[in-house]
Structure 1
Amino acid sequence: MNEKAQLKIGEILINRNLITEGELQKALSLQRKGELLGQTLVRLDILNEADLVEALSEQLKISFVKLNYFSLDKELMKIIPESLAREHQVIPLKIEGTILTLATADPLNIFVLDHISQITGYIVEPVIASPSEIKKTINQYYGLKEKETEKVAIESAGIEDVTAETPTIKLVD
């Protein structure tokens, strides 16, 4: 096989003994329109997210990072606006000279990488991280906006339920 030829993700997963040929065929047959094979394997609980991300790292020849091993600099986190970090699931990891190392679940999204480069003024070097670790890190740093909003909505609904159940007393003259 040509060394330069890129292996398919299914081949890499089989070579790593993470899935069997049968599991690959099952996933291919159950794959939803527009869904990537790796997403299908994770959705079907055939593969865990961390193993998928490591295999993608091998396939794409892009470094893989585990965000729980990083101590993030709060000042560095400010370089990426929260809305951008949440929307594109990115985490700035370090700056060396003119290079910003950026953790992302989608290191091939050139549009996002270029946009971040324009905003920050740095050359962006992507590294791959699991989507759940990125989301967890964003929530730890920026706060749990989604959960807080959901909690307020639930509490508000509870208040509405209480007021709906409370009898109304009318004063008559």
Structure 2
Amino acid sequence: MSQQKVTRLHTVKEKKGFNARRKLGELLVETGLLSRKKLEEALQIQAGTGKRLGQILMELGVISEEEIAFALAMQLKIPFVDLKDYMINSEVMETIPEGICRKFLCIPIERRENVLHVSMADPLDLNMIKELQFITGYN
């Protein structure tokens, strides 16, 4: 039996009862991924630079890109998929041409009936989603 590496995300996944409707910074504090002090520091930097909070937190080295993605998924109420351990069927991979995957930073991961599940860098990009639906014929 293989042992799974325990990360801060594994600990958060086991917690229950936090409010996913909060702002990103509050959600990170509530889940224990970020201290209140570091959030306040990052918000001061954000006020002066206009950068995104997640970018600032990564530049400060207090949170990883994976942890930001996880928190955003919680905030948006969409599944978080760790692609490192995900087996993708080759037929599913062929549903979106490689050039399109590179352009949109996306990977098809699963197909069920007329629905194609896609892991993407920006799940809020509605134009990309519409274009992928047009290209693939899937919802």
Change (3 A) 1:24 1:5: closer
What CA distance in whole angstroms lies between the structure 1 residues aligned with 2:135 and 2:78?
A: 23
CA contact (8 A) 2:20 2:77 kept: no
The alignment yields a C-alpha RMSD, in angstroms, of 1.7
* SS of residue paired to 2:116: strand
1:11 aligns with 2:20: no
Gaps of 5+ in 2: 1-18
Q: Which residue of 2 aligns with 1:115?
A: 131
| One-letter amino acid matched to 2:75 | Q
Answer yes or no: is 1:23 the counterpart of 2:23.
no
Q: How many residues align?
A: 119
What is the distance in 2 between the residues matched to 1:40 and 1:104?
21
Q: How does 1:27-66 map to 2 (within 5 A)?
A: 27-31=42-46, 32-33=49-50, 35-66=51-82
Of structures 1 and 2, the one with the larger relative CO (CA 8 A, separation 6+) is 1
Percentage of identical aligned residues? 35
Q: CA deviation at 1:40?
A: 1.5
Q: What is the CA-CA distance between 1:5 and the residue it aligns to?
A: 8.5
Which of these two proteins has the greater Rg computed from alpha carbons? 1
Q: Please name the residue that 1:101 is paired with.
A: 117
Q: Which runs of 4+ in 1 moved over 6 A?
A: none
Q: TM-score, normalised by structure 1?
A: 0.64
Structure 1: which 5+ residue stretches go unaligned?
Answer: 124-173
